Structures are given as C-alpha cells and as structure tokens.
Amino acid sequence: MKVSNRKRVLVTGGAGFLGSHLCERMLNDGNDVLCVDNFYSGTKDNIAHLMGNPYFELMRHDVCFPLHVEVDEIYNLACPASPVHYQSDPIQTTKTSVLGAMNMLGLAKRNKAKILQASTSEVYGDPEVHPQKESYWGHVNTIGIRSCYDEGKRCAETLFFDYKRQHDVDIKVVRIFNTYGSRMHPNDGRVVSNFIVQALRGEDITIYGDGSQTRSFCFADDLIEGFVRMMASDKGVTGPINIGNPGEFTMIELAQAILKQVGGQSKLVFKPLPQDDPKQRRPDITLAKHHLNWEPKINLDAGLEKTIAYFKKFLAL
C-alpha cells in the first residue's frame, strides 16, 4: 500500500554514467529513489554525492535475479554500455539484458508499475538506411563480438512488447544513440571520453579506421529530459522511440572539435577498425518531437565544454 505522495522510482544500473544522472534528476523532482546496481561497470563514486539524501537508497543487486520491492516506476538501465565492458563477459551481458528485462517486467507486472527500457541504436546494427527510423528492423550480425549486446537488447525489446500484449504492462521503450557527459568511465573505449582523456593528457588521439565513419552525440542532460518525458507520456505511447542528437560528425571532426577546446600537441593516429563497427549512425527523431515534444538543446561544442571541464577535474589536471 502506498502511504506517501512521493513516487517510488527504481533505477537499475543507477550507479552507471546515465543512471547516476537519472537518480539525481529523480531526486531533484521530489521522488523516492531506489538505485539498484551490481557495480559491474558503475561505481559508488558516481552516486556518493546522493548518499546523504534520505530519499535515496542504494541496493547492491544483480538484475539477473528476481527483485521484490514496492515501486511505481522502473527505469531499466542495468547493462554495461561500452564495448570494452560488455565484451569482457559477453554471456553475462546477454543474461543482464534478457534475464534483467524478464525480472524487471515481472516486477512491473506485480506492482502495476510503468517501466522504461533503455534500449539502444545498436538494435539497428550496421544500418543500411540512413538516418535510422524506428520502423527500420536493423542489420545485425547474430554471431559477432557485438552480438551479446545488440541481440540481448533486441530480445529485451521483444520481451517488453510481449509483456504489453500478454499482461498489459505499461511499457516505454527508448532507443538511445551515443550519449556523453560527466561520469563517463575515463578509459572504457567510448569515443568522446577516449578522445578527451587523450587530448588532456597530451597523448595522440586514436582513431579506428580512416575516421570518416560518423556518429551523433547527445549530451546526457538532454537524454535524461527525453527519459522523463517518455515516462510521463500517455499509456498509448510505448515506443520504440529514438532519443539522440541528429547532428552527425565524423570521428575526425569530433577529434578536431575536442582539440580546439583542449589545445595541446596531440596528433591523430589511425588504427584498424574493429569487427562489425557501424559506419554511420544518426537518429531520425520525428517520433520524439511528435509524441514527447522533445529535441536536444545542447550542441556539441557546449556539451564538450562541460564534459572536458569534468574530466579535467577528474584527472586533477
């Protein structure tokens, strides 16, 4: 039985990069927040500043195992997001996506709670259409080194829609495109943090391939606003909905934008492209604009400035 007016919000993966920003936003909005994490790729440092808040609770738990708590809303973010992390224990990655989704959907069903899935642009694989619309079914290798993540996330989406059809669970599925900001892991191989850390240390900047492959980069605050709007949307709005920044940059352009702000002598060095690395990525955000009245507000230079400031402090430079 619910006895407080505060919404009880569960954030799985709450000690990770995006999860920690979401926990912070949920507390600022006056909610009672339960952060669940097994610290596979997240850290207590990301949420240490929230620990004194009486409406914040941290639970060490692996979502591959059932969880019995009373909650009103669930944001399911638990899953390592960077290739370095998700490929270091690929079986655990698939388990986290699939068993984690089943357990959290079961919890949502029992609580009659709304549940949002942090899905990914990786469900589109190496896309043959550009930009990617939600109606595109994707081009994914089932047996490659990225498959544990891509197929795990695809199966999780299937589970979300079957729980909707079979049990009328109130689901929300967002497909996140590359997002960056403070509290990214400094050396987990994600391109924005990689380039910034290398530039700040005065090291050469490593570009995989010839640097002409493109990505779009969304600043974390914009993304979290998209999550909140999605959760607040009408029951009929289930997604999947792309959340990302449609600005598209080559790896060389990104490196140059970072070097312009950091300065220094770093040179660009080129290494072979990893297996199955997508050549192009850009979200079509028509649905997010239409259903959520959402679009990103922070451009790449402004977002990089904040992120560089964070890493300067983090590396004590």
Ligand X SMILES: NC(=O)c1ccc[n+]([C@@H]2O[C@H](COP(=O)([O-])OP(=O)(O)OC[C@H]3O[C@@H](n4cnc5c(N)ncnc54)[C@H](O)[C@@H]3O)[C@@H](O)[C@H]2O)c1
Angstrom CA distances, 261 to 185, 216, 302, stand at 20, 19, 10
Angstrom CA distances, 18 to 91, 111, 118, 199, 264, stand at 23, 24, 10, 23, 29
Torsion of CA 48, 50, 54, 55, to 10 degrees: -130
Residue in 75, 149, 163, 180 annotated catalytic: 149
Give SS3 for 267: coil
Query: Is 149 among the catalytic positions?
Result: yes
My answer on whether omega of the bond before 240 falls inside 30° of 0, hence cis, is yes
Interface positions with ligand X (CB under 6 A):
12-13, 15-19, 37-42, 62-64, 77-81, 85, 96, 100, 118, 120, 176, 178-179
Cβ count within 10 A of residue 158: 11
| Shortest distance in whole angstroms from residue 9 CB to ligand X | 16
Which of 7, 15, 4 has its CA nearest to residue 33?
7
Q: Which residue has the tokens 């388990």?
A: 95
Nearer to ligand X, 131 or 266 (CB): 131
| Shortest distance in whole angstroms from residue 95 CB to ligand X | 7
Nearer to ligand X, 18 or 199 (CB): 18
| Shortest distance in whole angstroms from residue 37 CB to ligand X | 4
Nearer to ligand X, 257 or 270 (CB): 257
Q: Which residue has the tokens 């639970």?
A: 59
Cβ-count burial 278-298 (b if 16+ within 10 Å, e if not):
bebbbbbbebbeebbebebeb
Structure tokens at 307: 């992120």
Active site residues: 149
